[in-house]
Chains A and B, each alone.
Chain A
């Protein structure tokens, strides 16, 4: 009895010491694991103002001509109001926008893929977009609950070579996999899409219908297929390191900032050059459209080296 009791006590004390030691080690270990996954271009930023000014006028106009975006908006009839709103707002600023739907709707035009499975639908949409890209070299995939400011997207990728593989957005980590979150929009260069479509042919590494019992979300399936083709996710951010791709809505981000930074709500919140906001309701999108493309304080000018003109036949921008 005695020896059991004392063994127990020894164990208890050693266990306590073990716990203390482990907790100290934890505080020393945060960055080590992620260090091993540093890519060369893990954080992607736009050209700085100085770099922009160094470009000649002809270089500038060449780049502006080249950076053209094909928007793939993945809709379903359930999200009809969002579908119509996106059609009426930000998608007008894409060089080409196609609404890929699971089934057609009488109310609004879309490309009917006749496919219920989300991953299969995404694959079909990407294949169709690649085949119909013409001379467009950048692809942007979004849900209709996301609002995108295409001019800021163009600014981000202005100096990036579309014949190189780029896979950009807000990056998250799932185990060993870096993936771009769907809700904040996915940017792919022409080369990335070309490699992806090649990888689609490989039923082992990149199956169309998942064999597992559970379904991996499309964003992770996409990341996996891309990873096999040597394309890695990169986080889009501005010169200050603020994320440009947001999965939360503007009002949600402002509320968060009011709680966390009451002294400096707007400065600390979101980037001036933000590209996407997710989880937006249709009326929030109409207000954001007004806020981005029209509302401004008189007398404050930005002499940007680039010019993007407003689209034809539109009156809300």
Chain B
């Protein structure tokens, strides 16, 4: 009896020992290991991020200058590179302190990498991000003030460093390469602006703010001059309408941004809405669009330029669809014509980031380029 009792006590003790130590280990030892490993991975990815950013961006005067026009493995980006040099775009993004982490950060990580220069406009200066603070408050009623000040700011600080000036929201996704395709056949010395054209209130129409719009250098000059001579003033906080009214007054022409099949390129909503949604007949959109609305697949050009109301995951998704995912060997139905490169002189004075860019440029010089692009001033 006693021996049996001792033996079973031994077995019970063995089982209890195993189980309790197992539980103890899984609670304390292993999870701590896992925890620290996770932290390590997180720190590592932050360091990687910072390293990446230093290679590709030059932060100067609160703007980001793109050193490397992003390339994808296995692609031939010669044509895109040529346009990058020829059609210099400064992108300014309307954001605010509350949205830097939620929204602006993803703009920085995705489409803005294809702009020549990026400026993030906020109400507060932030030298790290970097953002420019423009002595305004936040809120919808400040939109036109921010816009006016932003355009004045980029004119003053970067007027000579770009040919076209794009305004976008921090929830707009822009395919800058396609914007260059549209702009390449126009001269930045002409007073022009492009976007998603709306028809009410302004005779020649105005461009939707959310879908983004782009001014030529001459258009920007006239806008700034208009405020100096008080031809333009702060009339309303409805930013896009006010812009349209001012630009019409100073003789800037509202352009047609549609592709060669008359399909829209700038879009005020997310891709789903345009491709699959049916807007109800009473929706304001029907009365606003300058050109006839097409629902379904022909709503949108293959060379779409922008979509709006894009949250962070949507932006990364569109980045994947645009620049990464493809059908191997597929010959696209729509073969866009090469733009008639305007006869504007190639800028011979390249700005900051020049020395790094030159290496890329020299590599291109030896390769075959179309005759128009080789014109020297």
Decide if A197 is an interface residue (CB 8 Å cutoff): no
Decide if B365 is an interface residue (CB 8 Å cutoff): no
Decide if B181 is an interface residue (CB 8 Å cutoff): yes
| A-chain residues with CB within 8 Å of residue B6 when the two chains form the complex | 3-4, 7
The answer for the CA separation of A272 and B78 in the assembled complex, in Å, is 20
Decide if A296 is an interface residue (CB 8 Å cutoff): yes
Q: Are A265 and B316 in contact (CB under 8 A)?
A: yes
The answer for the CA separation of A162 and B11 in the assembled complex, in Å, is 60
Q: Are B25 and A292 in contact (CB under 8 A)?
A: no
Q: Are B325 and A8 in contact (CB under 8 A)?
A: no
How many Å from the CB of A290 to the closest CB on chain B?
6
Q: Are A300 and B72 in contact (CB under 8 A)?
A: yes
| A-chain residues with CB within 8 Å of residue B374 when the two chains form the complex | none
How many Å from the CB of B115 to the closest CB on chain A?
13
Decide if B7 is an interface residue (CB 8 Å cutoff): yes
How many Å from the CB of A192 to the closest CB on chain B?
23
With A263-B49, A263-B52, A295-B302 known to touch, is A9 a contact of B13 (CB < 8 Å)? Answer: yes
| B-chain residues with CB within 8 Å of residue A49 when the two chains form the complex | 74
The answer for the CA separation of A303 and B10 in the assembled complex, in Å, is 74
For B1-45 the 0/1 string (1 means CB < 8 A from A) is 010011101111111111111100100000000000000000001
With A292-B325, A295-B322, A307-B329 known to touch, is A301 a contact of B79 (CB < 8 Å)? Answer: yes
| B-chain residues with CB within 8 Å of residue A20 when the two chains form the complex | 21, 25
Decide if A302 is an interface residue (CB 8 Å cutoff): yes
Of the candidates A287, A301, A305, which one forms a contact with B271 in the assembled complex, judged by CB atoms under 8 Å apart? A287
Q: Are B320 and A254 in contact (CB under 8 A)?
A: yes
Q: Which residue of B lies closest to A294 (CB)?
A: B302
Q: Are A14 and B17 in contact (CB under 8 A)?
A: yes
Of the candidates B10, B46, B177, B333, which one forms a contact with A7 in the assembled complex, judged by CB atoms under 8 Å apart? B10
| A-chain residues with CB within 8 Å of residue B10 when the two chains form the complex | 7-8, 10-11
| A-chain residues with CB within 8 Å of residue B275 when the two chains form the complex | 283, 286-287, 290
| B-chain residues with CB within 8 Å of residue A16 when the two chains form the complex | 17-18, 20-21
Q: Are A152 and B327 in contact (CB under 8 A)?
A: yes
How many Å from the CB of B138 to the closest CB on chain A?
26
Q: Are A299 and B77 in contact (CB under 8 A)?
A: yes
For A151-183 the 0/1 string (1 means CB < 8 A from B) is 110110000000000000000000000000000
Q: Chain B contact residues (Cβ within 8 angstroms of A): what range?
A: 35 or more
Of the candidates B22, B328, B331, which one forms a contact with A19 in the assembled complex, judged by CB atoms under 8 Å apart? B22
Of residues 261 to 276 in A, which have CB atoms within 8 Å of B's CB atoms?
Answer: 261-267, 269-270, 272-274
Chain A contact residues, majority secondary structure: helix
Decide if B75 is an interface residue (CB 8 Å cutoff): yes
Q: Are A18 and B317 in contact (CB under 8 A)?
A: no
Q: Are A155 and B49 in contact (CB under 8 A)?
A: no
Decide if A241 is an interface residue (CB 8 Å cutoff): no
Decide if B126 is an interface residue (CB 8 Å cutoff): no
Of the candidates B52, B328, B332, which one forms a contact with A310 in the assembled complex, judged by CB atoms under 8 Å apart? B332
The answer for the CA separation of A11 and B18 in the assembled complex, in Å, is 9
Q: Which residue of A lies closest to B299 (CB)?
A: A290
Decide if B313 is an interface residue (CB 8 Å cutoff): yes
Q: Are A309 and B52 in contact (CB under 8 A)?
A: no
Decide if B348 is an interface residue (CB 8 Å cutoff): no
With A290-B271, A290-B275, A297-B177 known to touch, is A270 a contact of B9 (CB < 8 Å)? Answer: no
Decide if B217 is an interface residue (CB 8 Å cutoff): no
| A-chain residues with CB within 8 Å of residue B99 when the two chains form the complex | none
Q: Are B80 and A299 in contact (CB under 8 A)?
A: yes
The answer for the CA separation of A5 and B13 in the assembled complex, in Å, is 9
The answer for the CA separation of A283 and B9 in the assembled complex, in Å, is 65
The answer for the CA separation of A272 and B329 in the assembled complex, in Å, is 13
Decide if B297 is an interface residue (CB 8 Å cutoff): yes
Decide if A210 is an interface residue (CB 8 Å cutoff): no
Q: Are A14 and B14 in contact (CB under 8 A)?
A: yes
Sampled A-B contacts (15; CB under 8 Å): A4-B9, A15-B17, A19-B21, A251-B317, A266-B110, A266-B319, A286-B297, A290-B271, A291-B318, A291-B325, A296-B303, A298-B177, A301-B76, A308-B327, A309-B331
A residues with a Cβ closer than 8 A to B are 3-5, 7-16, 18-20, 23, 49, 93, 149, 151-152, 154-155, 250-251, 254-255, 257-258, 261-267, 269-270, 272-274, 282-284, 286-310, 315-317
| Shortest Cβ-Cβ A-B pairs, 5 listed | A15-B17, A11-B13, A299-B80, A291-B321, A306-B329
16 further A-B contacts with Cβ under 8 Å, apart from A19-B22, A255-B313, A263-B48, are A11-B15, A12-B14, A18-B18, A19-B19, A93-B327, A152-B328, A251-B313, A273-B328, A286-B272, A293-B333, A294-B334, A297-B178, A300-B72, A301-B76, A305-B329, A308-B327
